[in-house]
Chains A and B, each alone.
Chain A
Amino acid sequence: MPSVLEAHNIEFMKILVCICPVPDTTTKIAFADNNTHFSTQGVTFILNPYDEWYGIVRALELKESGVATDVHLVTVGKADAEPVIRKALALGGDEAIRIDTDSNDTYMVAAQIAEYAKTVGYDLVLCGKESIDYNNGSVGAMVAELLDMNYIGFATKIDIAGGVATVKREIEGGEETDSCSLPLVISCQKGVAEARIPNMRGIMAARTKPLKVVPPAAIDALSSIVAYELPPAKSGVKMIAAENMDELVHLLHTEAKVI
């Protein structure tokens, strides 16, 4: 049996980072067409923070330290995703891939990424722990299943040596350290890397880096969003005098019934 090193020729270690554009965190969410569509009017799109701050930056660090050779960025989306992809390329990365279809259903997105990944063969797939728009947090584990790879979620630290990943990750009420041979899919969160700001050289270089547009594979969506709703507005705050905490406790018990 070949060793892990031989099986995954470390001299050519390729990383794929899954990225997506999301509305800026300060966006006031509004809907159009009788609450059936998210209104993008006046919305600034940014790179999903978990993908940018942790996934991309850690991939770049692994390349800079000589562990990885290639860093590719992939997104599933239409042409309007390209400005955000260019911003991602300004941070670093050798090339970006845009799979040219709408990204409405998690399975569809994961299956598109998996189909593309099969054509290249990646040793490591990184993604953010979730996107801050649809909060599914499911693409990474789905890609892992579709590529028959192992998966480690909620990583806070990733080290790779000799084709083996050592990953610290969040678990309920604590953390654990896992060890697993590549290939592997990891979802990233705070701790994995420190956010970077692209420099002028990166921004200039990003303009000419390859951004491949790939036609989508024939995969059906398994779900769709039929309507949206905003949370009900609070009826108004009841102010309690700072001296009267007994009153607050009384109200929490008798009115709110939470203690």
Chain B
Amino acid sequence: MSVLVLVEHSGGIFKKKSLEAVQYAANIAKATGTAVTAVAVGDADNANMQALGQYGATKVLHTTDARLNEFNSRAYTRVMLAAAQKEGAKVIVGLHDTVGKAVTPRLAARLKAGLVAGAVSYPDLSKGFVVKKNVFSGKAFAFVNVTSDIKVITLMPNTFPVVKGEGAATVENLDVTFDDKDFSVKVVETSKASGSVPLSEAELVVSGGRGMKGPENWYVLEALAKELGAALACSRPVADSHWRPHNEHVGQTGGTIRPNLYIAVGISGAIQHLAGVNGSKTIVVINKDPEAPFFKAADYGVLGDAMEIVPRLTEAVKKFKGN
């Protein structure tokens, strides 16, 4: 018996959200009297895998194959199935991101396991196995009771603060026999924006709306984001007008994010937009319209012209960081 967790890495460095997932799994293991086994796929450094013990992993199962250095949902599912079988896993944790959303449903379907996608709480074991998740794109939460023997959960990244502890995990190789079919999706081309913080993982987000008046004014938001180390986001009209790329669109029909700080500039705060961002821990709204509905959902508000206020805020952040 164990709690299994799929960990993601980039060039052998485990992502912060995966450390969060390990810690999440460790808390479930503690509550259920079992241990955490992390599953790492593709080339990764032994010391980094052992270090997952600092977040609560007892063991790391590691599968390598030259073909696994590119993500492939079928091959990853096969690895997770082998690990689940070996460990007799009753709870399997992944992340609610592009990798987790491709692997965990396959795994759940194969194991006939109930799936909670996008969890924001630990399971409540006093009433069965009840996990809180986002529904209606952030407008509400649902409590889902999983009744199958094996349970699969994807954790919404940035739900719990990550705390580093002590410990070292043991690393074991997990041999998996693949079928050629597992690799029939071929990656032809990859393009990644270098250096920027992925929006889904960002702790700080600077977002612009129609009130920015045009893409030529985005430089003030870019400067603020750079000073803060924040990711950029935008509202739907901005993406629809091609002022900004679609992957920056947050809201009910875009991405749902829950950063620590969301700074909304020139966004009125339509219900569809709020849905995607109201999980943010702190919201700052900068808008020249005192009637903007977003002020009602904000923690801090600034009334006035974005082109004057944002550079002033950037200067203030610079001054603060200098101290």
Contacts of A242 in B (CB 8 A): 302-305, 308-309, 312
Q: Which of B143, B249, B272, B305 contacts A229 (CB 8 A)?
A: B143
A231 at the interface (CB under 8 A from B): yes
Please report whether the interface of chain B is mostly helix, strand, loop or mixed according to DSSP: mixed
Contact B313 A224 (CB under 8 A): no
Q: What's the interface size class on A, roughly?
A: 35 or more
Chain B, residues 86-101, CB within 8 Å of chain A (1/0): the string is 0000000000011101
Contact B147 A256 (CB under 8 A): no
Total contacting residues, chain B, CB less than 8 A: 101
B193 to chain A, nearest CB (A): 6
Contact B139 A142 (CB under 8 A): no
Q: Which stretch from A70-78, A115-123, A147-155 is at the chain B interface?
A: A147-155
Chain A, residues 122-151, CB within 8 Å of chain B (1/0): the string is 000000000011111111111011100011
Q: Which of B105, B117, B281 contacts A135 (CB 8 A)?
A: B117
Q: Given that A150-B185, A237-B298, A252-B261 are contacting pairs, would A229 and B140 also be in contact in the complex, using a CB cutoff of 8 Å?
A: yes
Q: Which stretch from A10-18, A106-114, A201-209 is at the chain B interface?
A: A106-114
Q: Which of A132, A140, A176, A224 contacts B145 (CB 8 A)?
A: A224
B109 at the interface (CB under 8 A from A): yes
A6 to chain B, nearest CB (A): 17
Contacts of B107 in A (CB 8 A): 145
Known interface pairs A173-B196, A179-B188; 19 further A-B residue pairs with C-beta atoms within 8 A, sorted by A's residue number: A50-B253, A106-B108, A132-B253, A135-B256, A141-B105, A141-B106, A151-B106, A176-B187, A178-B188, A222-B112, A223-B115, A234-B298, A238-B301, A242-B309, A243-B312, A245-B312, A248-B313, A258-B261, A259-B204
Chain A positions within 8 Å of B, measured between CB atoms, are: 23, 25-29, 31, 49-50, 105-107, 110-111, 132-142, 144-146, 150-154, 156, 166, 170-181, 190-191, 221-231, 234, 237-243, 245-246, 248-253, 256, 258-259
